[in-house]
Each structure stands twice: as C-alpha cells, then as structure tokens.
A and B are shown apart, each in its own frame.
Chain A
C-alpha cells in the first residue's frame, strides 16, 4: 500500500515534443506529491510538487496533473529539450509537509534527442 508505481521506465522524445510520465498510488493518506529530477553524478533535485486539493500545477514547461479519484498523477514536460535528459522520480508522502517518509517511484530515464 506504500508503493508508488511509475511508468514508463524509459522514454525517448524528440526535441520540442511533450514528455509524459505517469505515477499511481494506493495509499489514500498520501497528501504531498513531488517530482524529482536527477542528472548523472548528482542527487535528485525537487522539480515541482502538488497537493491533492488542486488538479494541476504548472511551473514553466513542467506541469503536474493530479487525478485524486483515480489515484494517479503525471508530469508533463512541454517543448522538451536535450537538457531535460535525466531520470525523473515521482514520490508521495503523508502529512502534507516535506518531513517524513517520501515513497519514491522506480524512476523514468528520459532522453530528448536534438
């Protein structure tokens, strides 16, 4: 029940295209859903996060869509760029704050071809 399932495992997109990564969860107590971006040799960095009281959050080219009834959320990267090539992790936690146990998805390796 603590799992967060992420798909796809890998994704190849052409420059300018839309990258979409999906996550699903079971624990209805989760109330904080961040996405992290990880470049090789670096730790994950917070990209964008959402709470379940909104259905969408946009920051620049990055948008989180959240479907509470389906217990799913997704990351959309518009106008994908080669510099977006990285591993992306969705995560979820209980408590609505950054403290506590973040449960991570398995990660998606995104490759954006020029």
Chain B
C-alpha cells in the first residue's frame, strides 16, 4: 500500500447509473488529484484540490463531479457516463510546497457498458 487507498478497485456501470469513486490518504498531504489513464494516452489531469478547495478543473465534462469533504478524502461522482469514459481513474496526493512528488493510489478500473 502506498498510503493512498482507492475504492472500489473495479467498477462496471451502465450509462444511466450513478456511482462514486472514493480516495483516502492519511499521509498528511494537503493537495489531492484525480487523473484519468486511458490506453496509449498520457495521464490526463482532471481535478486538483488544494486545502480542500478546487483549484483546477481541466475541462472535464459535468458528468464527472468531484467532492473533497476534508483533506484526507476525495470523491469522484459519476453519472450518465459514456463508453469512452472507460479507463483507469487514479487518485494522487501531495504536500503543497514539498518536493517529494505525488503519491498515487492503485486506481479504479471503470468500465461503462
């Protein structure tokens, strides 16, 4: 375990479903991120939260809705997704001002059917 825990590890959902991805870190980090990893594409930054405030929304469709209730938890709420949204969704955290790099979770493998 890296210190960043993501649940569930795998998720299959229909296009009309609503589901949520959860990320939890107890590293004392104060910045959290959602990345999308698709085959043969660079990791795409989706959202950045710093000190529980959203500071970046990288032109992500509104069917993805993030929530950061506190510095240890990050959610990604999903609704009416498309098959092209199938990917590995990675959560990461870091300490603002530090140079230790991101710590990633193991990801949630999402399949939209």
Contact = CB atoms under 8 A, between A and B. Distances in A.
B4 to A, nearest CB: 7
A89 B104 CA distance: 13
Given A45-B2, A105-B42, A96 B102 contact: no
A42 B88 CA distance: 10
8 contacts: A43-B2, A43-B6, A44-B90, A46-B100, A46-B101, A96-B99, A101-B58, A103-B42
Interface of B: 2, 4, 6, 31, 40-43, 45, 48, 50, 56, 58, 90, 92, 94-107
Contact of A99 (B94, B105, B106): B94
Nearest to A43: B104
Q: Give chain B's interface secondary structure class.
A: loop
Interface of A: 4, 9, 32, 34, 36, 41-46, 49, 89, 96-107
Contact of B98 (A36, A42, A97, A101): A97
Nearest to B30: A99
Nearest to B4: A43
Given A42-B106, A43-B106, A43-B107, A99 B96 contact: yes
A100 B58 CA distance: 12
A114 B78 CA distance: 43
Contacts of A104: 42-43
Nearest to A96: B99
Contact of B45 (A89, A102, A105): A102
Contacts of B105: 43
A49 B40 CA distance: 23
A114 B21 CA distance: 39
Contact of B99 (A4, A32, A44): A32
A106 B45 contact: no
Contacts of A32: 99
